[in-house]
Amino acid sequence: MTVSDPVVESVVATISRSATEIRQGLIGRRGTVDEENPSGETQAEADIWADELLGDRLAAIDGVGQYASEERTEIVDCGADPSAAESYAVAVDPLDGSSNLKSNNTMGTIFGVYDAALPARGETLVAAGFVLYGPITTMVIATDETVTEYELSGGERTVVDRDVTLPAEPVVYGFGGRVPDWPVDFREYAREIESELKLRYGGALIGDVNQVLTYGGTFGYPALESRPEGKLRLQFEGNPIGYVVEQAGGRSSDGTQSLLAVDPDALHDRTPVHVGNDDLIERLEATLA
């Protein structure tokens, strides 16, 4: 599958070609640096390196008006007017799950292509997806037409599934945050789910979400007692992942509404994130209500 819009296809092609290089470049970059990202988290050397690599390449694409990253405080003006026709903003989490570098576990790259100036509602996304650096490097791309999974090798994309949809019968779940920090209503919901589904939680959002796409089920990083706004970033994680799951036939929620309907106040806004099969998200919202 080729994305019909040439600018969006250039973004997707650039990320897919860069993925093999990013994966190889993780070697020797497993340490942290004495810096924090705008969310106050310690940065890995690989976070900064992957951000610079993707930022340079994506900003050079004609038709990309803005580049924003979880690793940067400010939006990068790429020259094109982000409000003009055929001009897009690209938001990236260059290395989701980089804390897994030390233990050599799964991580990925998340991206969203917005047809609006950032920060923007998820409803303005025209494409979103992720690269998963697992045993095999794969890429999932969602557009308004379909969700497609590829294997990546040597900069080339090979189609694995042209129409990714959540299985009707859910199998797995994964919930982030410390259990004592969960609000009482979410604990009630979690107790129900854990009696029905198998736990799959690896500490990298993208790996846990891919389990849900593959087997059906739900992933959540809820509002916490210590952090009611949630942990994950709306522009870089919540919106792109919500878009992928909704386009694959599932639902997303911040606990009350679709993630794609949330109005952002700032680039690095956090949000609770819940995605999965329709009935599981409906039950979540009913319990939290």
Residue 77: which residues within 8 A CB-CB, separation 6 or more?
65, 66
Q: Is 98 annotated as a binding residue?
A: yes
DSSP reduced 3-state for 107: strand
Closest CA to 166 of 221, 247, 108: 247
Q: Is 93 annotated as a binding residue?
A: yes
Q: Is 95 annotated as a binding residue?
A: yes
Q: How many residues does the chain have?
A: 289
Residue 167: which residues within 8 A CB-CB, separation 6 or more?
214, 215, 216
Closest CA to 65 of 115, 109, 112: 115
User: Tokens 């007017």 — which residue?
Assistant: 81
Q: Is 194 annotated as a binding residue?
A: no
Q: Is 207 annotated as a binding residue?
A: no
CA separation for the pair 245, 242 (Å, rounded): 5
Q: Is 258 annotated as a binding residue?
A: no
Q: Is 101 annotated as a binding residue?
A: no
Q: Is 102 annotated as a binding residue?
A: no
DSSP reduced 3-state for 288: helix
Closest CA to 251 of 273, 228, 222, 221: 273
Binding residues for substrate: 96-99, 201, 231
Binding residues: 70, 93, 95-99, 201, 231, 237
Binding residues for Mg(2+): 70, 93, 95-96, 237
